Structure 1
Amino acid sequence: MVGSPEINKVIREILSPTLRENGFHKVNTRHNWGWDDHCIWVLDIAAVGVSFSDVTGWSPMSIFVELGIYYDFIPPREEIKISAKGELLPKTYQCDIRYDLSCNLDQSKYTKNFHNRAEKERNDIWWIQPDGSNIEEVINDIKQDFLHNGLKWLIRNSNLEAAYAEIEKEEDSYNKFYNAMYFAKHLNDNEKFDMYSKLLEQEQKKFD
């Protein structure tokens, strides 16, 4: 069965140069970061793993790709790793907003026998053959979706006013109020800062 070293080699050959050319400064195969003013771009690639494979039918080395943006003016809710150079290195789950890249390959020949219809129809996982025969096809498709969709998402949401507007459209929640409050503070929107502070306090009381 193909292993991570073989997959990582193809990632470094096909995807890593594209990331370096498009705003990522620290490119570590499966974990990548870029720093753009107050925004930290993150791109993580992870295998679904054996447990997920056993339950769903996806091959264990199949992968998904997550993007995220961490805004450095929003206080983190847990400790974030720091590099030797003092750079913040958040994981995608620690980012303030996230986005999944999508597979554009026809994978029906791999998923047609899945029992769960939702697993058959999902497009956020790339099937990797146990013998590794389709790795190049997979990584090329990831590269193309990054260039056509992921990069545009990163650029669009690195505009703080645009990102703030999108956060305000979200369904009311603790997370929305928390992020919106700090966006309002950073953008000197004092009226909205007061409003979101009160909403956050009310939401916190529900948990207390």
Structure 2
Amino acid sequence: MFESEYIMRRLPLIPTLIVLAAVAVMIALGCWQLQRRSEKEAMLALAAANSGKPAVSYPAMAPVPPDLLFRPSSLHCLRVVGWRTEAGRAADGSTGYRQIAECATGAEGPGALVTVGVVQKPDAKPAWTGGQVRGWIAEEPDHRSLLTRMTGKAMPLRPMLIAAQAPAGMKPAARPSAADVPNNHLAYAVQWFFFAAVAVIIYLLAVAKRPRPPSDPT
């Protein structure tokens, strides 16, 4: 009997169903990533042309619509209620740490995030306390896990204003660009398809190595 025929005849039912279900999930995730890739490319194409358009009102709530991403805008920060520090790039191309202010913009409401500038030391204490800010609309840094994004449980990214000018002691942050937005969905799709293929191969090899019962013909 051919080896392939033996393997097919000896496949255990329950483990095989479990493996097939897992492979189906991996393939579905790969197809989902391909769909997301097309959506991301369309969004980036729209956003790439936004920086040259007229200024718009700063969006108060997430998510940021693609037609507003990278558009010029402004807001008034009444006071800074907190700071975030993120690795980033300055307008002159140097690297450092972005100082992101969490601003109150009124008595109530979600407030606003402002990338005030870039410093060289992550523990630098910004002296900026608020005021009128002009810049470009972007999104806050994305620290959401891949699992929450795949399951649809991830919170949308809040809008963030990249200030065009920085206070004394800071460098202006790099102007947001579509080139800075990662689009790794094709690589993720290939990984899921690869995992599915590897799972099938490993399972078939494991079945093939199972001892043959004495009554089985060779």
Q: Which has the larger radius of gyration?
A: 2
Which structure has greater helix proportion? 1
TM-score by length of 1: 0.28
Higher relative contact order (CA 8 A, sep 6+): 2
TM-score by length of 2: 0.27
Which structure has greater strand proportion? 2
